[in-house]
Chains A and B, each alone.
Chain A
Amino acid sequence: MAEATLSFKKAAANALADGELQRALQNIKTGFVAKRAAAKTKLPEFDALRTEARAIKDHTLTHLDLYLEAYESKVVESGGQVHFAPTAADARDIVLKLCRERGAKLVAKGKSMVSEEIGLNAHLEAAGIEVVETDLGEYIVQLKGETPSHIIAPAIHLNKEAVAAYFRRAHKGRLTSRRLSDVKDLVAEARAVLREKFLAAGVGITGANLLIAETGSSVIVTNEGNGDLTSTLPRTHIVIASIEKIVPTLEDACTILRLLSRSATGQDITTYTTFTTGPRREGDPDGPTAYHVVLLDNGRSDMLGGIFQDMLRCIRCGACLNHCPVYGTIGGHAYGSVYPGPMGAVLTPALQGLDHARDLPNASSLCGRCEEVCPMSIPLPAMLRAWREHEFAQGTRSWSERLALKVWAFVAKRPRLYHALAGLGVPLLRRLAGGRGRFTWLPFGTSWTRVRDLPAPEGRTFQQLYARRSREIANERP
């Protein structure tokens, strides 16, 4: 996942030229954005809940060690096992070992961004274990050999004709004349194919939207029910979750659940919200006989106590993606990271190091919509700026960019000089633009002027106008 971020600019250019992708991205505005707004309006307490949810997470993060211990002891009490994984490699190895111990040839998987983060599928497949994604969107991108382009709608970039083509290629032994022209046909076929997989899988792996310290439960939120079949039918259930998913109590979970689906899909609640606590109990006729939780750190503990701690409040609703003008223009793959959009641009460099995500903190206009819609009030623009400062301090941006910023900083820190230069520059620029009031070409600015004009200043500087207006007001007073 690391290398693609190096070529962000190229990927973004490709995305802009991809007509199908552009059409699919339009759906986000009419879909997720409008639905979220409607759901928020229907719940007058939405903002109060946001404030509380933020406080819940802040409290949990500053007591994270203790809540993890409390959670672990409840899991053990209910018959399950907890495995701590400091790194992605540790987590992969733990899961592979568990699969081997249970003799699993086939693994059914519910949707899990953490498993994408650690590259779990490739690791298991390299060891000869078949892995089947069961969330419909994840299944489709798996067939295509891709990663998700959206954290909650993985196949949002594909149309139904493309999906039909993947199904025809992958689902052998079915009539070639069968109808796959409707979304309904596609869903029915995936249901039938995946049902067989659920029943045959020896291990089911799910992620977790929340972990609850009070009860030792893991919570998954789905509309399809795939996560539930994954956690119910195979003999072993493995939950893979990152350490910051924990909340103290069932009440805290309720508060966050009220925000999660409204922010994500605009639903009041998803169809299924499932609390799983340990393996099958005595007398239970179904459910797995073994229950394991893999708790992944992978750089998160380093974010505690610093400027990026707030990022650990993220509940992966995807609202910042849906509302981001950059994501809405280029889609998720151009980011080259498992986590795209504003949350990904902050999280990816924190987890992998800035070296692997040079362009991501710059892939933002800092318009602030992400923070505005974030149910956990994460100050994403401020953190993007912080990454840019890190980059500047490390001296990794291009010399021209650094020189320009240095000159600007020198001038901006000296108001007299700034006003003097602005007073000279504004009339000069006005004259250079001629009568047109805009530039069609600028030195050092061709990548801007190639596709659009830059407006030229037309009058005086803001400071001059401000001073004049202040004088006028003073004169108007009796």
Chain B
Amino acid sequence: MSAPEEARAAVLARIRGALGIAKLDRARRAAVARRLERHPRGTIPAQAVLGPAACASRLAEMLTKQGAEVARAATPEDTINAIASYLASNNLPPRLRMGADPRLAALPWKAAWDISRAFGPAEPSDKACLSYALVAAAETGTLFLVSGADNPTTLNFLPEFHMVLVKASDIVGFYEEAWDRLRGIYDERTLPRTVNMISGPSRTADIEQTIVKGAHGPRRLYVVIQG
């Protein structure tokens, strides 16, 4: 055995020894396989078991409480308007960075505003960016952002202003529902490289327990709920 293999065998042997397992009994293996296969849910907080309309309003409420700004948009045109006026009201140039997400690309960009867009992962100089959340959980106001060319992970952390679009129909009540959605989109049990659960702007309370926004990630998180 190579040294890494020996180390691996040593740790596993110590665990088995301490647990008093003489041989690998079938019952233990079956119990583990069953649990991984069925992944049973635990207790779900009643406050997170919600109908579709209540999901959107709780998401907005929780995000706001956690320091994010939230806008509701009835149509894609409204979404573009919301994004453009957010940039303007924060004295930002009409420019943003985004990934290749087709749902973002399909927004009526030229309809009323002329926002210039750069594509790809974030550059250190980017001020504002836009991502698309595949799903969100109303439970704690949590957006699920998934890595890949559509929504590069650096967008979630480098620019100062992070804007996120989520469709009202993609807002579920609790975390487990959100994970089931992702399991449905990706192969069962093969997650993308990164899933970021994001519930507000970056913050720290490390100095004198004083909360300050914009520790390392975005200072501002702007969420547009469309539909």
Query: Is B66 part of the binding interface, using a Cβ–Cβ cutoff of 8 Å?
Result: yes
Q: Does B173 contact A (CB under 8 A)?
A: no
Q: Does any Cβ of B come within 8 Å of A258's Cβ?
A: yes
A457 contacts the other chain (CB 8 A):
no
Tell me which residues from 74 to 106 in chain B have a Cβ below 8 Å from any Cβ of chain A: 99
On whether A249 and B39 interact (CB within 8 A), knowing A184-B212, A224-B217, A302-B18, the answer reads yes
Which of chain A's residues have a CB closer than 8 A to the CB of B207? 136-137, 140, 155, 158, 160, 163, 183, 186-187
B1 at the interface (CB under 8 A from A): no
Could you tell me the distance in whole angstroms from the C-beta of B92 to the nearest C-beta in chain A? 18
Q: Tell me the chain A residues, 239-264 only, with Cβ under 8 Å from chain B.
A: 243, 248-252, 254-255, 257-258
Report whether B215 and A223 are in contact in the complex, using a CB–CB cutoff of 8 Å: yes
Q: Is A331 at the interface (CB under 8 A from chain B)?
A: no
CB distance A270 to B199 under 8 Å? Answer: yes
Residue in contact with B140 in the complex, picked from A52, A56, A268, A306, CB distance below 8 Å: A268
User: Which residues of the partner chain A approach B122 to less than 8 Å between Cβ atoms?
Assistant: 286
Does B40 have its Cβ within 8 Å of any Cβ on chain A? yes
In the assembled complex, how far is the CB of residue A292 from the closest CB belonging to chain B, in whole angstroms? 11
Number of interface residues of A (CB under 8 A): 104
B8: interface (CB < 8 Å): yes
Q: How far is the CA of A156 from the CA of B204 in the complex (A)?
A: 12
Comparing A7-15, A213-221, A402-410, A419-427, the segment that makes contact with chain B is A213-221
- For A32, the chain B residues whose CB sits under 8 A away are 209
Separation in Å of the B89 CB from the closest CB of chain A? 22
Q: Is A277's CB under 8 angstroms from B193's CB?
A: yes
Which residues from chain A contact B10 at a C-beta distance below 8 Å? 84, 86
User: In the complex, which residues of chain A have a beta carbon less than 8 angstroms from the beta carbon of B7?
Assistant: 83-86, 90
B146-163 vs A, Cβ < 8 Å mask (1 yes, 0 no) = 011100111011100000
A46 to chain B, nearest CB (A): 9
B11 contacts A84, C-beta separation under 8 Å: yes
In Å, the complex CA distance between A8 and B196 comes to 42
Do B175 and A254 touch across chains, with their CB atoms under 8 A apart?
A: yes
Q: Does B202 contact A (CB under 8 A)?
A: yes
Q: For residue B106, give the distance in angstroms from its CB to the closest CB of chain A.
A: 20
A121 interface contact, C-beta 8 A: no
Q: Are B12 and A228 in contact (CB under 8 A)?
A: no
Q: How far is the CA of A297 from the CA of B217 in the complex (A)?
A: 33
**Max count, chain B CB within 10 A of own CB: residue among A68, A275, A283:** A275
By the criterion CB–CB under 8 Å, are A284 and B147 in contact?
A: yes
The answer to the question of A330 belonging to the interface, with a C-beta cut-off of 8 Å to chain B, is no
A250 partner, pick from B16, B18, B39, B149, beta carbons under 8 A:
B39
A302 contacts which chain B residues (CB < 8 A)?
A: 14, 18
Contact A183 B212 (CB under 8 A): yes
Chain A stretch 31-62: residues in CB contact (< 8 A) with chain B: 31-32, 43-45, 48-49, 52, 56, 59, 62
Say yes or no for A65: interface residue by CB 8 A criterion: yes
Contact A140 B206 (CB under 8 A): yes
Q: B216's contact among A59, A70, A191, by CB below 8 Å, is which?
A: A191
A187 and B196 CA atoms in complex are apart in Å by 23
Complex Cα gap A160–B46 (Å): 41
Given contacts A27-B208, A232-B157, A284-B147, contact A276 B214 (CB under 8 A): no
- Give the docked Cα–Cα distance between A232 and B16 (Å): 36
**Nearest residue in B to A82 (C-beta to C-beta)?**
B8
Chain B residues, CB < 8 A from A280: 193
The answer to whether A187 and B214 touch (CB under 8 A), given A251-B176, A268-B62, A275-B195, is: yes
A86 and B11: CB pair below 8 A? Answer: yes
Q: Contact between A269 and B8 (Cβ–Cβ < 8 Å)?
A: no
Say yes or no: A229-B216 contact (C-beta < 8 A), given A65-B16, A153-B209. yes
Cα distance A287–B146 when bound, in Å? 12
Q: Identify B193's interface contact among A223, A228, A258, A287, CB under 8 A.
A: A287
Contacts of A265 in B (CB 8 A): 205
Pick from A31, A158, A277: contact of B191, CB under 8 Å? A277
Q: Give Cα distance in the complex from A187 to B213, angstroms.
A: 9
Partner of A84, one of B8, B21, B140, B205: B8
CB distance from A75 to the nearest CB of B (A): 12
Give min CB distance, A211 to chain B, whole Å.
13
A31 touches B209 (CB 8 A): yes
Chain A residues lying within 8 Å of B199, measured Cβ to Cβ, are 268-273
Shortest Cβ distance from A213 into B: residue: B36
**How far is A27 from B210 in the complex, measured between Cα atoms in Å?**
10
A136-B14 in contact (CB<8A): no
- From 123 to 178 in chain B, residues with beta carbon under 8 angstroms from any chain A beta carbon are 124, 140, 142, 147-149, 152-154, 156-158, 174-176
Q: Is B110 an interface residue (CB 8 A)?
A: no
CB-nearest residue of chain B to A225: B217
Q: Are A248 and B208 in contact (CB under 8 A)?
A: no
**Residue A453 CB within 8 A of the other chain:** no
B149 neighbours in A (Cβ, 8 Å): 283-285
CA distance A74 to B188 in the complex (A): 12
Beta-carbon nearest neighbor of B206 in chain A = A137
Q: Using CB atoms, name the residue of chain A closest to B5.
A: A84
Instruction: Say how far B8's CB is from chain A's closest CB, in angstroms.
Output: 4
Contacts of A278 in B (CB 8 A): 193
Q: Pick the residue among B35, B189, B214 that contacts A74 (CB under 8 A).
A: B189
Q: Could you list 30 examples of A-B contacts with CB < 8 Å? A: A27-B208, A49-B43, A64-B19, A84-B4, A84-B8, A134-B216, A135-B206, A137-B207, A187-B204, A187-B212, A214-B189, A215-B190, A225-B157, A228-B196, A228-B217, A232-B157, A248-B35, A258-B45, A269-B197, A274-B197, A275-B194, A275-B195, A276-B193, A276-B194, A277-B194, A283-B149, A284-B193, A287-B193, A287-B194, A301-B18
9 new A-B pairs (CB below 8 Å) besides A43-B47, A272-B217, A286-B121? A68-B15, A213-B36, A215-B191, A224-B217, A226-B215, A226-B216, A250-B176, A286-B147, A304-B19
Spell out A's residues near B (CB within 8 Å).
24, 27, 31-32, 43-45, 48-49, 52, 56, 59, 62-70, 74, 77-78, 83-86, 90, 134-137, 140, 153-156, 158-160, 163, 183-184, 186-188, 190-191, 194-195, 198-199, 213-215, 217, 223-226, 228-229, 231-233, 243, 248-252, 254-255, 257-258, 265, 268-281, 283-287, 295, 297, 301-306
